[in-house]
A and B are shown apart, each in its own frame.
Chain A
Amino acid sequence: MMLVGIFSLVATYIGDDHFHTRFWSNVLHNSVFFTGVALMALFLLAAKITAWSGWHTIFKRVWEAYSLFLVVGLVLIMIIALGIWGGWHHLYHWADIKSVESDVILTGKSSFLNKNWYTFGSLLFVGLWVFFAIRIRQLSVDEDINGDSNFTHARKMRVLGAAALPVIGFTSAALIWQWVMSVDAHWYSTLFAWYASASMMVTMIALTIITLIMLKVRGYFPLVNIEHLHDLGKYMFAFSIFWTYLWFSQYMLIWYANIPEETIYFNTRLHQYPVLFYLNIGLNFVLPFLVLLRNDTKRKYGTLLFISCVLVFSHWLDFFLMLKPGIIHTAHELAAAAGEAGHHTAGATPGFTLPGFLEIGTFIGFLGLFFFVVFNRLEKASLVPSRDPYLMESVSHHT
């Protein structure tokens, strides 16, 4: 899978315009997407620890392994940050000094949208996440060997989990603004960070279901049964509705207020990306709502696996729709400024208005990288945390 990804990346790089917009936007898209998945795994793990929850304990190593992908995510984001310093790409309008000087809105935002904040903010915040992920993982693995009857490890994890929650809550919003929302540097939306987080959360849960079923088919996790998957299915259902709620809140408020500087965001997406725009709602809301509404569809491997696969892909499309219009707009402006009228073409551009084969190849590549890291981490420790105080609660879990 990773070979497909590398081939796609190279092919994109060669066949690209001289800004390499397509190449870099694909890298950004997938890096942010999978880093977000890892972050949400850490977030849910921290939330479960803080809530003294036990039903997930039997497969919590999966989420721990997911959260460790943050290390790779940090590297990926740093490559993009380096690109801003080195001028390798032009993903962000605010990174272009000439545009910022001549643009009042960009000048006004330059105290937050600048390369120092981008680089060192990401470094610091993702660094914090990595710290929490590694520390929780260390404690959890150490508990298998040195766990005592005072539950020292579990107590330490509770402190870490409670500390991680506010940190993730605030920093994730700042970084989503920087990474994703700032591709439309003129536009902002207060709830954008939650909307993007909800997208990542659904993906994370869908990937968890896929991973668990994959491992179960191969004979691992004999004690994970349909009760656990049923609860994950409920989560997937609930967060799909939550995603829709945020999507709709954002859309309806902007539609109702009808302020041009805000509506431009949806104007672009509705008129230049009509297929993706409606597909987004259809696949991320209507389909999971109608299919997962019933009790028994959440208790069958087939339907769960099908919906999970669709949701992973369609939330990836959601991120595509968040990122690409802003990026191609920036590229057009810069090309026009550089006097290259040839790039200012309207109409369909593969890789920007619709994901082409190379985008899907890149997605598969990053998915391969993600699972490579996850399974690599998974095999380093026993799959079942044998001395976790909540293990028995998880084994006898019954909905």
Chain B
Amino acid sequence: MKHGEKNILFGLYDDEEDLKKAVVQANQDHLDIMDVLTPFPVHGLDPLLGLAESRLHIAGFVFGLTGTLTAFLGMTWIFTRDWPNIFGGKPYWPILSFVPISFELTVLFASIGMVVTFYIVNGQGPGIKNPVIHPRITDDKFCIAFNTDHLGDAQVSKLRNFFQQTGASLVETKTI
């Protein structure tokens, strides 16, 4: 086992409703779920897992505001200080014609900023390989995974029991 790898025990479910029931059961049994993986976003799963609301949109707002200010202040500086020019008889500081460009930069900054933030927070990026626990998680199976590194045999068999009770169609161990 190389450094940074961990042993996991995972179970695959055929249906997202089975998965949700299993997560509820795991919460009742106080089992420490490492991760839940689904081929698509399952409605109502986040509150069951106790995940906090994403703060990505706050980052998006800040990025957007940065874009607006960059565009607006940048153009203001260019057209009033750096290189004042008269276009079509308009004043040096034509706020109205700044609006579309400010809007565009707001969208650009917000979208690119949010994508980059998302990738950094999730440890993604070019050249980074992520372990795939089971290929069918990307297709039609729903997975609950437990970290078994520090668990004794009794606890692991308890987890296997849990998978059997909640109707997992496949239970396997893997080192990732």
Binding site for B on A (CB under 8 A): 248, 251-252, 255-256, 258, 293, 295, 398
Contact = CB atoms under 8 A, between A and B. Distances in A.
Say whether chain B's binding surface is mostly helix, strand, loop, or mixed.
helix
Given A255-B96, A256-B97, A398 B44 contact: yes
Contacts of B57: 295
A252 B96 contact: yes
The 5 closest A-B pairs by CB, nearest first: A398-B43, A252-B96, A255-B96, A248-B99, A398-B44
Interface residues of B, number: 11
B132 to A, nearest CB: 29
Given A252-B97, A252-B99, A258 B89 contact: yes
A81 B44 CA distance: 55
Contacts, number: 17
Contacts of A252: 96-97, 99-100
Interface string B76-116: 00000000000011100000110110000000000000000
A256 B57 CA distance: 35
Nearest to B44: A398
A291 to B, nearest CB: 14
Contacts of A295: 57
B88 A258 contact: yes
A82 to B, nearest CB: 43
Nearest to A245: B103
A255 B90 CA distance: 9
Contacts of B97: 252, 256
A293 B57 CA distance: 10
A152 to B, nearest CB: 32
A162 to B, nearest CB: 30
Contacts of A293: 61
A133 B124 CA distance: 52
A255 B96 CA distance: 9
A252 B95 CA distance: 10
A9 to B, nearest CB: 40
A258 B57 CA distance: 40
17 contacts: A248-B99, A251-B96, A252-B96, A252-B97, A252-B99, A252-B100, A255-B96, A256-B88, A256-B90, A256-B96, A256-B97, A258-B88, A258-B89, A293-B61, A295-B57, A398-B43, A398-B44
A66 B19 CA distance: 42
A248 B102 CA distance: 14
Contacts of B89: 258
A86 to B, nearest CB: 44
A255 B88 CA distance: 11
A267 to B, nearest CB: 15
Contacts of A251: 96
A112 to B, nearest CB: 31
A115 B99 CA distance: 41
Nearest to A294: B57
Nearest to B57: A295
A298 to B, nearest CB: 13
A398 B97 CA distance: 41
A338 B9 CA distance: 93
A293 B99 CA distance: 19
